[in-house]
Structure 1
Amino acid sequence: MATFVFIHGAGDVGWYWHLVEAELRARGHDTVAPDLPCEDDSAGLPEYTDTVVAAIGNRTDPVVVGQSLGGFVAPLVGQEVAVKSLVLVAPMIPAPQEAPADFWVNTRYDEQASYDDLFYHDVPPQLAAEARKRGRSQSETRLAEPSPLKAWPDVPTRVVIGRHDRLLPVGFISRVAQERLGLTPDVIDSGHTPALSRPTELADYLAGR
């Protein structure tokens, strides 16, 4: 059985992954999903990475899964500990030493059409309301600092994106994944938050079913 380490996105909490964790644990896998110190102005990518590494503890060969801004953290974890693989979900995909704040300009991101809901439009209403209640502020104080990523870890990497993602559209992330990682993403029928809208499908994907 595998160990899955989950990294949430900006202004979020580890709870975001709870439905996927339940699916995987029911299949015998181990999971951990720490809360990053995203509200802390003194914390940046190194501190986010330290939080995840501490949560891993003595677990070995984990599959590290990063969502959205968590895509900047996942390879840093892979730089610090031996991981089995990396999975990026609806991710921001960093280049070595790139600051998160520079991602949008560097990737030639064009502002998308205006929507009332970028994140939870395909999530059941009660679950979406709970997600909004649990959301936290995201400090941007240190997001302009270059990432300590030296090079992409030499481990198997997969990218999975949502067909209906309004924040990071399929065409955009497909191009970035090809340019930066030489990968063609897998696509599931979700928006930006598939761990809430398609937890079983995402768990199947992660478990390799």
Structure 2
Amino acid sequence: MDFVLVHGTTQSPASWARVATLLTAAGHRAIAVDLLTPEDLPVEGYAQHVREQYGGERPVVVAHSGSGVLLPAIAEALGARALVWLAAYIPDFPGGKCLRDEARTMLEPDWIGVDPTADPAKASEFLFHDCDSETEHLALDSLRLFDPAVLAAHPAGPAPEIPSTVIVPTRDRTLKPVWQRRAARERLGVTAIEIDAGHCPHVSRPAEIAGILTGRA
């Protein structure tokens, strides 16, 4: 099975290193793609950018955090067999709102306006508070900002007709867990899988995430 791993808005592909290693050890292929480009692209442009980095067929596509905006387009471009939303923004498929319209509803108030890439202490507080010291050091090395305007402004289209799994970290300090659960149910028609972790469980709980991915695939 192929897994295409899509980083979020505050980390590079390096954030997937441990999960990718575990998936490979279990006999799968894991490709951590890089969304960063020299210039901002439309949503379809980022989907094609991912397509250029992946040469296989019908992968499971896993998106973290703000890259949930891009997940439907990436899935379509790759012919994905399944989607996984990991502590991810789930677009407002029923109502057509964009992420910017929903920010104050879905984000924890203390997270709004924080740039963790400019402040390691804030990164530790909001993203990596559940990591041990060694993992936290590795996580801080993976910090990188990816925040093109299209993520905030892109209106939701129709819901993807591809099986979805939603993983909700119950100690998320950035994206409200209660919002994630409700969005999974109302926007994708699924019950979320909950994990005792912060916003980046692929960093802090890689074995558990790899286990969920292989089990659901």
TM range (shorter): 0.7 to 0.9
Q: 1:99 to 1:13 in 2, by over 3 A?
A: same
Q: Which has the higher helix share?
A: 2
TM-score (structure 1 length as normaliser): 0.86
Mean CA deviation greater in 173-182 or 82-91:
173-182
Rounded Cα–Cα distance in structure 2 between residues aligned with 1:51 and 1:188: 31
Rounded Cα–Cα distance in structure 1 between residues aligned with 2:33 and 2:130: 25
Q: 1:194 to 1:13 in 2, by over 3 A?
A: same
SS in 2 for 1:28: coil
Q: Does 1:127 align with 2:101?
A: no
The aligned counterpart of 1:50 is 48
Name the amino acid aligned to 1:51. H
Match of 2:151 among 143, 146, 170: 143
1:144 offset after TM fit, Å?
Answer: 4.0
Name the amino acid aligned to 1:53. R
- C-alpha contact 2:130 2:198 (8 A) present in aligned 1: yes
1:109 offset after TM fit, Å?
Answer: 2.9
Name the amino acid aligned to 2:20. E
- C-alpha contact 1:37 1:43 (8 A) present in aligned 2: no
1:94 offset after TM fit, Å?
Answer: 1.0
Q: Percent identity?
A: 31
Q: Does 1:82 align with 2:79?
A: yes
1:44 offset after TM fit, Å?
Answer: 4.5
Name the amino acid aligned to 2:72. P
The aligned counterpart of 2:17 is 18
Match of 1:64 among 55, 61, 68: 61
Name the amino acid aligned to 1:186. I
Match of 1:94 among 88, 91, 95: 91
Runs of 4+ with deviation above 6 angstroms: none
- C-alpha contact 2:159 2:187 (8 A) present in aligned 1: no
TM-score (structure 2 length as normaliser): 0.83
Mean CA deviation greater in 172-181 or 43-52:
43-52
Match of 2:187 among 174, 180, 183: 180
1:65 offset after TM fit, Å?
Answer: 0.4
Question: Is there any run of 5+ residues in structure 2 with no aligned partner, and where?
Answer: 112-120
Rounded Cα–Cα distance in structure 2 between residues aligned with 1:111 and 1:195: 20
- C-alpha contact 2:50 2:74 (8 A) present in aligned 1: yes
Q: 1:200 to 1:152 in 2, by over 3 A?
A: same
- C-alpha contact 2:173 2:199 (8 A) present in aligned 1: yes
SS in 1 for 2:83: strand
TM-align CA RMSD: 2.3
- C-alpha contact 1:5 1:64 (8 A) present in aligned 2: yes
Q: Does 1:193 align with 2:206?
A: no
